[in-house]
Amino acid sequence: MAEITLESLTKVYPDGTQAVSDLHLDVAGGEFVVFVGPSGCGKTTALRMIAGLETITSGHVMIDGQVVNDLPPKDRDIAMVFQNYALYPHMNAAKNMGFALKMKGLPQNEIDIRVREAARILGLSDALHKKPRTLSGGQRQRVAMGRAIVRNPQAFLMDEPLSNLDAKLRVEMRAEIARIQRDLGVTTIYVTHDQTEAMTMGDRVAVMRNGLLQQVAAPKELYDRPRNLFVAEFIGSPAMNLVMARVERLDGDTWVSFGPHRLRLDPATLERHDGLPAYDGREVVLGIRPEDMEDASVAREAPADRVISVVCDIREDMGSEVYVHFNVQADAVLMREVVEALVVEDAEDEETRLAAERARGGGVVFVARLDRATEALERQPVDVAVDVTRLHFFDPETGVGIHGSPAGAT
């Protein structure tokens, strides 16, 4: 299967918009890579350059080592599945799936074999005679996939193929697409703005922001070791709690304090973040994922130096778990967007404005994802035990994660 290499891929639209900047990526044969990022970050533009539907400003797209920059889309042996998979309404599912092959002049018996095989893989065998209007949303989506599969391409490029489906169907179809991709072993690049889709489907996930690749890694690596604040906030739901904190050495131990709270770091944590000693006595951004906290009263062990005492503001019963929101009287992390909003009287974006408000007033809202055994009640104190082995640290100036390299900390 095709290996796809992007070398310094860059797109500047005629109006000057820099949509993709200096993108480097190696996609191995048979690999499933997901491009994820907020709206406008350049995912679709990157995909369209790979497909040959968008001209390349500079850099290269290579398929199996060959530069294809000037190769027309039809000669790239790539099949695309789009968000708007407009099926031909007057053709049944089988004809829709086989149409491209017919246009290529394949004999009808060969087309029939390929369509039947794709239908089998997709669980569509009983619906081949149906016209699109009598198919369910999920079946229509499968027909669109079928159109790509019958072409037996070297690679699939998919652009938000599930965004027209309802939430339940999306969950079903994302498992289905991942399974089909594994079975067929076709190199796949998949674009989505949905981080859950990215994390559950991709062998590797490429996180983009403002046309720049932030990090590309396997889902677990992305989650456990986000390279910077943007990736840390973007991946995970509810999002990672972030707060300004201070690292201090006291009586031979290293502590991280934020507002009135203080946690003692254990040796293993310090070893994993061996850049941390360089921040002794300085500010860092501390990140705590919601699931790395538990109610100390029901926790197996909760030593006092790993517990923060807070007041539960909101309790959300999710059935399987409980989300507890509480306020931490410490400084919020002022990301660049928020700082800009602070100087703009009427920030247009409501979310940015609210973030700026919170930053102004001091105090940060934390969300903890607690076991349903918790008896935390709204407006009542609750002791929250923090798993200090899973803390995250970032440089407050650069937003870069403080992991291994002490050199990066200076």
Q: Which residues bind ligand ATP (CB under 6 A)?
A: 13, 15, 17, 19, 37, 39-45, 193
CB of 215 to ligand ATP, least distance (A): 16
CB closer to ligand ATP out of 45 and 254 = 45
Tokens of 197: 């889709």
Cβ-proximal residue to ligand ATP, closest one: 44
* DSSP H or E run through 314: strand 307-317
Query: What is the Cα–Cα distance from 97 to 255, expressed in whole angstroms?
Result: 61
CB closer to ligand ATP out of 43 and 315 = 43
Nearest of 153, 162, 202 to residue 182 by alpha carbon:
202
CB of 19 to ligand ATP, least distance (A): 3
The answer to whether 248 touches 254, Cβ cutoff 8 Å, is: yes
CB of 140 to ligand ATP, least distance (A): 21
Query: What is the Cα–Cα distance from 105 to 92, expressed in whole angstroms?
Result: 19
Tokens of 239: 């999002």
CB closer to ligand ATP out of 47 and 217 = 47
Residue 228 CB neighbour total at 10 angstroms: 18
CB closer to ligand ATP out of 17 and 380 = 17
CB closer to ligand ATP out of 39 and 410 = 39
Q: At what angle do helices 93-103 and 137-149 cross, to 10 degrees?
A: 20
CB of 193 to ligand ATP, least distance (A): 5
Query: What is the Cα–Cα distance from 321 to 309, expressed in whole angstroms?
Result: 20
The answer to whether 235 touches 225, Cβ cutoff 8 Å, is: no
CB of 20 to ligand ATP, least distance (A): 7
CB closer to ligand ATP out of 82 and 255 = 82
CB closer to ligand ATP out of 209 and 325 = 209
CB of 50 to ligand ATP, least distance (A): 12
CB closer to ligand ATP out of 40 and 408 = 40
Query: What is the Cα–Cα distance from 303 to 300, expressed in whole angstroms?
Result: 10
CB of 41 to ligand ATP, least distance (A): 4
Q: Is 398 left (phi over 0), alpha (psi -120 to 50) or beta?
A: alpha
Query: What is the Cα–Cα distance from 113 to 142, expressed in whole angstroms?
Result: 17
The answer to whether 364 touches 245, Cβ cutoff 8 Å, is: no
What is residue 177's three-state secondary structure?
Answer: helix
CB of 17 to ligand ATP, least distance (A): 4
